[in-house]
Amino acid sequence: MDMAAQPILAVDGLRKSFRGLTALESVSLEVRRGEILGLMGPNGAGKSVFINVITGLYPSDGGAIRYCGRDVTALPSYVLARLGIARTYQNIRLLRRMTVLENVLVAIKDHASQPFRSLFVRNRSGGVAAAMALLEQFHLADKADRLAGTLAYGEARRLEIARALAGKPSLLFLDEPAAGMNERETEELAATIRTSHRLVEAIVIVEHDVAMMRGLSDRLVVMDSGRKIAEGNPADVLTQPNVVEAYLGTDGADD
Amino acid sequence: MLVEQLINGVVLGSMYALIAQGYTLIFGVLDKLNFAHGEVFMLGGFVCLASIALGASLPVAILVAAIISGLLGLMIEFVGFRKFRSPDAHITAALSSFAIGLVIIDLSQKVWGAEPVALTLPGTLQTATVSIAGLNIVVLRLAILVISLLLMFVLYGVVVKTSLGRRIRAVAESPAKAALFGINVTRVNQQVFFIASAMSGLAGLALAVRTGYANTDVGFTFGLKALAIMAIGGMGDLRGALIGGLLVGVLEALAFQWGLGQLADVFVWLFMIVILLVRPAGLFGTLISKDVRA
């Protein structure tokens, strides 16, 4: 099989509704190996629902999700995490009562299938070295022993991305990583995301910040009312009339 | 003699601590009380009795008791807790585990009767004494103390240092977040139940060997006392269970020393009430509620 040609993620006709309200109406898209895909759209467009269904938080009502050619439509989130689909959350979710280092260690792959061997502290030093290397890349090494709950906002965001990368995923979803950040923090974040891109095969970013998306994304997908309304390179997509119209209505108000 | 009574108290306290540690571990991780925990303790004594009767040596009986208690813990997790994950299911889980405990008592009484059954080990292990600084101390009691402390030390090390411990603490903080970190929460719950129940069974074995009897009544009394110890030490805190257990053991021994043995239980409950009035979260507790948002 030609691995390069096969998309890392292929979503076909994904549907989801909540008590009769349609959140996703047959959304199809591909994530290609090596790319950063931007996913934009006004509030209520279905971006977050889309990510949540893909990553196993909500069951889908129809359609198929294929990851590396394998059907993963009905798998629970922790299995998807082990298969290599990682994500971050709009509201940061760290283990606040554990240290920065432990947050990464917990997420490091190798514990999964060894219920009793993990008792015997094997792999520990190797895990710590890998975790510290990751923290180094995200400029958090000096805070390794602090409780995650004490980090500043930007640091916590970096740790969350580092944590997501700890399991050596192939595909990384970032759900509104710049939410609540000022311009300088957003620039730092873009650098962090570029660092991350070297460690994974593909990244999907959901974000409102148009400038950041234009700068980072290889391709953009725009959603509105649970449907995909545009797809292509950022410069083209952002000037499409239906995209401009979809955004003018709500003018990028955050949720 | 006061010193001897204090030693007895510490030995008794170490058994209390051992059962309370498992209780508090399960509570810390699941946020729910396992009311069958005391009956796992009780059955530990009978498993030892049965193993010895079948010709097993004491070390083998200890191993068998630990494994059977652990497996019983897996059964309790599956029947009493697996379906009641929601934070709102406290009462359902409490009732179902309580029911499991009653079933264990009832079945045990069907097999072994309601009266205490003598458990006599071959050799002189139950009576041998050693003289330390002019005191005659039963070797078995010292062994129970040392092994209990060792087990608790190992458990603490596992929770603080190992990857299993990190997963346990992650689930304790938030099962939802732990799942996001790629942790199989059900598996961690099973591991916690196995470890906690094995410790509880070993504590029951220690009691049966020390007193020379296995008794279907002890699960209820020790289970209740372990609850008091948890409250005294701080719910879900391993150090609290250790210190609380030792304190309660010593308190009871002092009650006997002062000729108030019949009031020993009253002392324990009064002690708990006083501690909770002064420190509502217990000695080590913080009353931080579990992070249920994520």
Contact B77, B193 (CB under 8 A): yes
Checking if the pLDDT of A248 tops 90, the result is no
- Name every chain B residue with its beta carbon within 8 A of the beta carbon of A81: 180-182
User: Would you report the helix, strand and coil content of chain A in percent, each value rounded to 5?
Assistant: 40, 25, 40
Chain B 245-274, residues with CB within 8 Å of chain A CB atoms: none
Strand-strand pairing, A219-224 and A227-232: antiparallel
Contact A107/B at CB under 8 A = yes
pLDDT in tens, A41-92: 888 888 989 999 999 888 999 999 999 999 999 898 878 888 899 999 888 8
Exposed e or buried b per residue across A120-156, where buried means at least 16 C-beta atoms within 10 angstroms of its C-beta: eeebeeebeebbbebbebbbbeebbeebbeebeebbb
- Name every chain B residue with its beta carbon within 8 A of the beta carbon of A119: 158, 162, 164
Nearest to A130 by CA among A165, A171, A99: A165
Would you state the pLDDT for residue B254? Answer: 92
The 3-state DSSP class for residue B214 equals strand
Asked if A105's CB is within 8 angstroms of B163's CB, the reply is: yes
d(CA A204, CA A219): 10
Domain ranges of chain A: 9-97+167-250
Q: Which of B161, B183, B185 sits opposite A121 (nearest CB)?
A: B161
Kindly state whether residue B49 falls inside one of the protein's structural domains: yes
Contact B161/A at CB under 8 A = yes
d(CA B86, CA B97): 15
Asked if A94's CB is within 8 angstroms of B164's CB, the reply is: no
The total number of residues shown for chain A amounts to 255
Nearest to B245 by CA among B222, B213, B276, B278: B222
pLDDT in tens, A179-196: 888 888 888 889 999 989
Please tell me the class of the A9-97+167-250 domain: alpha beta
Number of other residues whose CB lies within 10 A of the CB of residue B159? 20
Would you state the pLDDT for residue B251? Answer: 94
Segments forming the whole domain that contains residue B67: 2-114+132-278
Contact A111/B at CB under 8 A = yes
- From residue B87, alpha-carbon distances to A184, B31, B92, B234 in Å are 40, 8, 11, 20
d(CA B247, CA B13): 7
The minimum CA-CA distance between A120 and chain B, rounded to whole Å, is 8
d(CA B170, CA A144): 17
Instruction: Give which of B180, B189, B237 to mutate to test A binding, by max A Cβ within 10 Å.
Output: B180
Would you state the pLDDT for residue A254? Answer: 45
Tokens encoding A248: 């003018």
pLDDT in tens, A218-233: 999 999 888 999 999 9
Q: Which of B161, B162, B179 sits opposite A78 (nearest CB)?
A: B179
Contact A68/B at CB under 8 A = no
Asked if B184's CB is within 8 angstroms of A93's CB, the reply is: no
Asked if A97's CB is within 8 angstroms of B173's CB, the reply is: yes
The 3-state DSSP class for residue A17 equals strand
- Name every chain A residue with its beta carbon within 8 A of the beta carbon of B288: 97
Contact B191/A at CB under 8 A = yes
d(CA B65, CA B40): 10
Question: What is the CATH classification number for the domain harbouring B174?
Answer: 1.10.3470
Would you state the pLDDT for residue B88? Answer: 81
- Name every chain B residue with its beta carbon within 8 A of the beta carbon of A123: 163
The minimum CA-CA distance between B170 and chain A, rounded to whole Å, is 7
Per-residue pLDDT of chain B (294 residues; tens, 9 = 90+): 788 889 999 999 999 999 999 999 999 999 999 999 999 999 999 999 999 999 999 999 999 999 999 999 999 999 999 998 887 888 999 999 999 999 999 999 999 999 999 998 887 888 888 888 888 888 999 999 999 999 999 999 999 989 899 999 999 999 988 887 888 899 999 999 999 999 999 999 999 999 999 999 999 999 999 999 999 999 999 999 999 999 999 999 999 888 888 888 899 999 999 999 999 899 987 655 444 433
Contact B142, B4 (CB under 8 A): no
Tokens encoding B158: 């596992």
Would you state the pLDDT for residue B132? Answer: 82
Would you state the pLDDT for residue B120? Answer: 87
pLDDT in tens, A123-172: 555 688 889 999 998 999 999 999 999 999 889 999 999 999 988 899 99
Kindly state whether residue B290 falls inside one of the protein's structural domains: no
Asked if B185's CB is within 8 angstroms of A78's CB, the reply is: yes
Would you state the pLDDT for residue A253? Answer: 45
Checking if the pLDDT of A246 tops 70, the result is yes
Kindly state whether residue B126 falls inside one of the protein's structural domains: no
d(CA A180, CA B286): 31
Asked if B182's CB is within 8 angstroms of A167's CB, the reply is: yes
Residue of B nearest to A162 (CA): B181
Count: domains in chain B? 1
d(CA A221, CA A251): 17
Kindly state whether residue B199 falls inside one of the protein's structural domains: yes
The minimum CA-CA distance between A71 and chain B, rounded to whole Å, is 19
